[in-house]
Structure 1
Amino acid sequence: MAQGRRVERVAALIRKETSELLIHGIRDERVHQGMVSITEVEVSGDLQHCRIFVSVFGEQAQKDEVMDGLEAARGFLRGELGRRLQMRRAPEIVFKLDLGIEKGTTVLHLLGELERERDERGDVTEGTELPDNP
């Protein structure tokens, strides 16, 4: 049980420090092409591997540039994390593009379109009552 809490604490610290390094530490212009945020960090139980999920706001070309920049800065980030977290061995880092926010936006857009279509047709949605006509 204590091992699980330690992994969670390390993941939270990695997220915090990586966010700080994205803002102030990485000088690669590719990383600053779009609005970048870290959505989640997963750390293995032995603290040797780390997956950092990144959300990038922008066009697909910008996302590709940001991911290329992050891959290029991976060694620098690993070294800095090892120093800042005072870990004997910093975990191997793998960056993954998180598309969850985009998928959520797409679903909301589709729901909005569906609602407009229902309004145009005059359909009544479930759970709503028709007004009484005296």
Structure 2
Amino acid sequence: VENKEIHINQLQQQSSSRTEELAKRNEEIQQLEEELEQMRQELSLAQEEYGQSGDKIDDQRTIHYIQKETELQLKEQARLLQEQAQVIVEDLKTLHDAIARNQDQLDEFQGHTLQAQKALCKHVL
């Protein structure tokens, strides 16, 4: 039973670690989204400034490229977070199953203990 408890504790620690990692990744994505929004604002201002010059088309292509690259990075981050979330869900299922098995074993052990106590009482009486 102790080994099972140790294993459950290890799974709980792994789950907590992964949950913390997921939270950190969420913060990173939030920061990237904020940076992307800031870049969009800066690019919008740049478009206004360069709108009067002949470089406008090149600038728009550059802006478009930067936006696409940033969006791809955000999508990759989201995909990685989804994978991590799936691992955490699987870990939680494994933990739940281990707890259920331990509870079954505990119930069985308690049943044997109760039978032994009854037998002892009959023997003593």
Q: Give the TM-score normalised by the residue count of structure 2.
A: 0.31
| Greater RCO (Cα-Cα under 8 Å, separation 6 or more) | 2
Greater fraction of residues in strand: 1
Q: Give the TM-score normalised by the residue count of structure 1.
A: 0.29
Larger Rg computed on CA atoms: 2
Greater fraction of residues in helix: 2
